[in-house]
Structure formats: structure tokens, C-alpha cells
């Protein structure tokens, strides 16, 4: 599955490289694409989404939106 996390603050050059390096170490994450305001990637399970969320938060980013609420354990109403 694929999802996109919109983040704040915007992603600069050195932070982009750091995000790519950190996410590349996660086994179930691939096809990582980063622009100035979002991180897109393919994943296998909900736990993988939590790992990406944790990595981004440790790097100082706050996730403000995710596509189609894929990382929500509950189904939308």
C-alpha cells in the first residue's frame, strides 16, 4: 500500500537526506519520495506506518495529514 504524510516544518536538503537514510533502514518501507512538505512511501502493515511516524517525529517533524487516513486503526465513518 502507498501513503503520504504531510509534515511541518518544511523539509530542507540535509533533513531530506537524513529522512531517506533513516527510512531506508526499515525493512517494510520502500519507494520513498520526499518533497518540501511531504513524505510518500509504500508499506506493508499498520505497524510500519507507526515506525515511519516515530522516525519523522524523532527528526523533529510533526505529521499534519496522511492520505486517506491509512494509518488510522479505525475505519472512517
pLDDT tens digits, one per residue of 46-69: 899 999 999 999 999 999 887 756
Q: Is 74 a domain residue?
A: no
pTM, whole model, 2 decimals? 0.82
- The domain in which residue 16 lies consists of 2-69
Q: Is 30 a domain residue?
A: yes
| Domain tally, the chain | 1
Q: C-alpha cell of 60?
A: 523533529
Residue 4 phi, psi (nearest 5) = -135, 130
Q: Long-range contacts for 12-20 (Cβ within 8 Å, ≥24 apart)?
A: 15/59, 15/60, 18/59, 19/55, 19/56, 19/59
Q: Is 25 a domain residue?
A: yes
Q: Is 27 a domain residue?
A: yes
Say how far apart CA 16 and CA 19 lie, in whole Å.
5
pLDDT of 74 above 70: no
61: CATH: 3.30.70.100
Q: Is 37 a domain residue?
A: yes
Q: Is 77 a domain residue?
A: no
Q: Is 11 a domain residue?
A: yes
Q: Long-range contacts for 24-27 (Cβ within 8 Å, ≥24 apart)?
A: 26/51, 26/52, 26/55
Amino acid at each position: 500500500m502507498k501513503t503520504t504524510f504531510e509534515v511541518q516544518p518544511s523539509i530542507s536538503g540535509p533533513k531530506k537526506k537524513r529522512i531517506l537514510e533513516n527510512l531506508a533502514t526499515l525493512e517494510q518501507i520502500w519507494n520513498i519520495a520526499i518533497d518540501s512538505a511531504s513524505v510518500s512511501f509504500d508499506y506493508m502493515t499498520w505497524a510500519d506506518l507507526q515506525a515511519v511516524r516515530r522516525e519523522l517525529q524523532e527528526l523533529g517533524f510533526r505529521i499534519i495529514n496522511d492520505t486517506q487516513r491509512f494509518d488510522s486503526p479505525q475505519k472512517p465513518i
